[in-house]
Amino acid sequence: MDHPASSYPVLSLHIAGQWIDDTGNGFIPVFDPATGRQISQLPKATERHLEMALAAAANAGSGWAAVPVRERAALLRAAALLLRGRAETIAAMVTMEQGKPLAEARSEVLRSADLIEWNADAAVALMEDEGLRAEGGSSIALVPVGTVAAFTPWNVPVLSPARKVSMALAAGCACILKPAEETPASAVELVRAFVDAGVPAGVLGLVFGDPASISDHLIRSPVIRKVTFTGSVPVGKHLAALAGSFMKPVTMELGGHNPVLILQDADVRHVAKAAAMGKFRNAGQICTSPTRFYVHTSQFDDFVEAFAAETAALRIGNGLEADVQMGPVASERRLTALQKLVSETLREGAKLIAGGARIGEEGYFYAPTLLTDIGPDSTFMREEPFGPVAGIFPYDTTAEGLALCNASSLGLAAYVFGTSDAETGKVASGMESGIVGINSFSVSRPDLPFGGVKDSGYGREGGIEGLKAFLVTRVVAR
């Protein structure tokens, strides 16, 4: 389907101020998940290109760190302004390569611009106003950690790179970005906004290729002084171990199997409506997406009925079409993983309430799926269902419900719904997660630190805490 702003760009690496659309190392195909058809090809970096990016960052890094923070912030604001002006064009690219509805894609681009501006302003406040003074003429200063290697996922292909890149650049660090190969145009256009805004050559690099080879090469390089990664738990653990062997600080934002505790006094029909939008946004492919819904036994049947009705009413289709509320999952690999997870969970005794199958033969559409009667040792409980699949469970007491919520090795986000501020606050304080939403599934803002506990990672992105991760404290003692 055509859209006024749906032209897809030539895909390139960006190294030392140059756009490179053919490396001589072959190409990676890029697919439209709504049709399954190839829409472009992506050049793969060679080791020589990685070394070029590292050398450029090393050469440009000290100069960028010396630029006054207010001047760096002005360039970031200019990039955010360009991003807003190009929002329609970039949003269409996001939908074409990732699948989310155009309205969601547009919102992501605009939120990314807001985030870049917030980090620019926060860096000024932090690095100017927190210039600490010590006794006897000694001083304490916040200085850039050095060149950053940033690895970002395909599910929020503008927002995640925007967060990492803007924090690094605002703090005065050079950055080499390795985004997901499934959604390259989003990152290309983000980097283009920074470049067009005037970020000097070498300060921001963009590379694609074999993920394992690139991450290994960059992390081992002495040029890289910090690693920030968003992605799966197994890959995150591998990269954290590799970075640790070189004593490099890391920020790890990994997966989540996020529980929702619906208290006995909650309006379950209201919660069901919010749950359908929160669960199936971006086809459930959000790290904070709610996955496990715990409902008091007295309300369980009513909630299941209401949630199923809201799920059945969702409009599913190509994200470029008007009024579509849920698009395809992002890749054939994700579709296959969901089919396997659901079929195994059903074989283990779960009950299918809604969905449970692929939709059509074209593209990677999977029906919004609700499951009940899920066993504690089932495939669903062991694996993060990164897609439009949710489980619904009964509980008898709040203490039991809270224990069930915390019975996971993951701890990124959790949610509680109820009418009593005191009770929801008490439950929130007992959740084993980095983020808790009360009566809302909206938990991500530029000013709030973002990250998890347990296997969901460590360190924080966003907020002042996230910015500080790109700075080190230097003491000059007199």
Q: Which residues are catalytic?
A: 253, 287
Angle between helices 184-197 and 159-171 (to 10 degrees): 30
Residues 79 and 53 sit within 8 Å (Cβ to Cβ):
no
| Residue 15 backbone zone (phi > 0: left; psi -120 to 50: alpha; other: beta) | beta
283 DSSP assignment: G
Write the CA distances from 420 to 199, 300, 427, integer angstroms: 49, 19, 11
At 175, list the tokens: 């950055």
Alpha helix ranges (H) inside 18-144:
47-66, 69-85, 87-98, 102-129
Task: Report d(CA 152, CA 163) in Å as an integer.
Answer: 10
Residues 259 and 181 sit within 8 Å (Cβ to Cβ):
no
Write the CA distances from 472 to 226, 283, 361, 424, integer angstroms: 11, 39, 52, 37
Which residues, in sequence order, are bridge partners of residue 41? 29
At 220, list the tokens: 């081992």
Residues 456 and 255 sit within 8 Å (Cβ to Cβ):
yes
Task: Report d(CA 358, CA 163) in Å as an integer.
Answer: 33
